[in-house]
Amino acid sequence: MWLLVLVAILSSPVRLESDASEYVDCLELNHFYGAKGEHVFDQVIFYAIDPATRKLQVRGWCIVEDRDVLNRRPVKSAGGIYRVDWIETNNRVNRTITSRMYRESWTQIDPERENKTVLPEGLRIGLISPPKKERVAE
């Protein structure tokens, strides 16, 4: 009996509270390699063009995981728009980030960390924050 209840709970889909969709100026799929040439991780970096310098500045990033819910690899639509979709299960938010510009890189220097030397993380525009959940007074 308890086994059936556990299976029902674990197999139920994640209930999402909201959607967070936005456009960025560039998506980058970065393949990061260590000093010995070993693959360490893949990440997607989201950029905005700085109006003053006309250079790309990091807005955010996410690690690519090759699981269905967390795939996060950019895909190109028929209209030429690149798109990254994933579900943030901790915030219960369905994220969609799109861009017309896309690039892919293979590096031994992390572009996201390198960008922190130009623009500290606290000064980044950032991605849309999920809506705050209101607490109901009891």
| Per-residue model confidence (pLDDT) at position 1 | 47
Rounded mean pLDDT of 113-133? 83
Distance between CA 32 and CA 105 in Å, rounded? Answer: 8
Q: Which distant-in-sequence residues (6+ apart) come within 8 Å of 32 by Cβ?
A: 39, 40, 41, 42, 43, 107, 108, 110
Q: Which residue has the higher pLDDT, 63 or 17?
A: 63
Token pair for 43: 């990440």
Q: Taking 50 as the threshold, does the pLDDT of residue 4 lie above it?
A: no
Distance between CA 138 and CA 31 in Å, rounded? Answer: 49
Closest CA to 64 of 35, 40, 92: 40
How far does Cα 68 stand from its chain's mean position? 14
| Per-residue model confidence (pLDDT) at position 109 | 95
Rounded mean pLDDT of 64-75? 77
Closest CA to 124 of 135, 137, 115: 115
Angle, vertex CA 32, rays to CA 109 and CA 56, nearest 5: 60
Strand partners, 39: 33
| Per-residue model confidence (pLDDT) at position 70 | 62
